[in-house]
Amino acid sequence: MQELNRQDQEVVDRFLDNLWLEFGLSHNTIQAYRTDILGYSAYLSSRGKSLLTADRGNLQAYLGLRFRSGVQASTAARFLSSVRRIYQFLLREHELTSDPTADIESPKIPRALPKSLSEAEVERLLLGPGRETPLGCRDYAMLETLYATGLRVTELIGLSMSELNLAAGVIRVMGKGSKERLVPLGDAAIEALNTYLQKGRGAILRGRVSEAVFVSTRGTSMTRQAFWQIIKRYARQAQIATPLSPHTLRHAFATHLLNHGADLRSVQMLLGHSDLSTTQIYTHIARERLKRLHSEHHPRG
């Protein structure tokens, strides 16, 4: 690597010190910034430039060089983020009057489809809780409700009794941005919730009062962390090898709806996405289903 000029080294050191002092970033994060910026600085040095004298053209040329060398879009986006940040620092320090990164768009990074479960895996997971105990009734009702509605885990554990309408078969959910939506439950979830409310919730509360639908043995509402541990325990029992996240059943809900013919707009409304583009991470599922239907039913498929 070309040796850095002393001015750039001093600029980078001051910038990284500022990251640590002002934002408390971890050692690994700061080292990632260092690697990105020093690589660019070495490139500039080899062309008689520095971080303070480089322009937009120099940055674009370096990005082009990185892409031709086969760098991934995510790596290039991280580099550009690092360089943007040091130039913002230099503007604040009045060492520059313009930002070479202005108007340069970050590379588009494809959004990976979240990990989901097959329908058979979900069935095994739902068989885990023993419904003969109050806690088993609670756990089963939570898992069944989560899969039936596609709620976020925070929405599930935040449900209050006033938001539950089993007679109508819906729940009222206050989602992100304080946006309210009505979500249908389905027969299996209604039955699970009825059983829990009749045989489980009161036994867990033991005379204590709570507005929360799903309560802990302390009489308080279930926490996200506690429910996450419950999911992992039943996943181990069901011998599910798929890596789980707190939103795995939410993703399974959306995936299985699309597999059975639901349209994206309906799934968007049920998930509580304010923008359809958020739901479009699932579009390839819909496309694969259409391909399969075409292959199975079209005479030339």
3-class secondary structure, 160? strand
301 burial class (0-12, 13-18, 19+ CB within 10 angstroms)? exposed
Question: How many CB atoms are located within 10 Å of the residue 27 CB?
Answer: 8
Among 138, 251, 256, 273, the one annotated catalytic: 273
Q: Which of 66, 78, 138, 247 is catalytic?
A: 247
Q: Where are the alpha helices (DSSP H) in 150-247?
A: 153-157, 187-195, 201-205, 224-237
Q: List the structure tokens of 155.
A: 């929405």
- Say whether 282 is catalytic: yes
Angle of the 73-92 helix axis to the 27-45 helix axis, nearest 10: 90
Task: Select which of 33, 140, 147, 282 is catalytic.
Answer: 282
- Annotated catalytic residue 234: no
Catalytic residue among 176, 265, 287, 291: 176
Whole-angstrom CA distances from 135 to 28, 55, 79, 148, 202 are 42, 63, 49, 20, 11
Q: Is 247 among the residues known to form the active site?
A: yes
Is 206 labeled as catalytic in the residue annotation? no
Q: Which of 66, 138, 152, 201 is catalytic?
A: 152
CA distance 282 to 114: 9
* Dist CA 301 CA 294 (whole Å): 6
Instruction: Catalytic residue, from 138, 250, 251, 256: name it.
Output: 250
In the block, which residue shows the tokens 């990164």?
101
Tokens 């399969």 found at: 292
Q: What angle, rounded to 10 degrees, do the helices at 6-18 and 27-45 form?
A: 160
In sign, the C-alpha dihedral spanning 229, 234, 236, 242 is negative
Task: Tell me the catalytic residues.
Answer: 152, 176, 247, 250, 273, 282
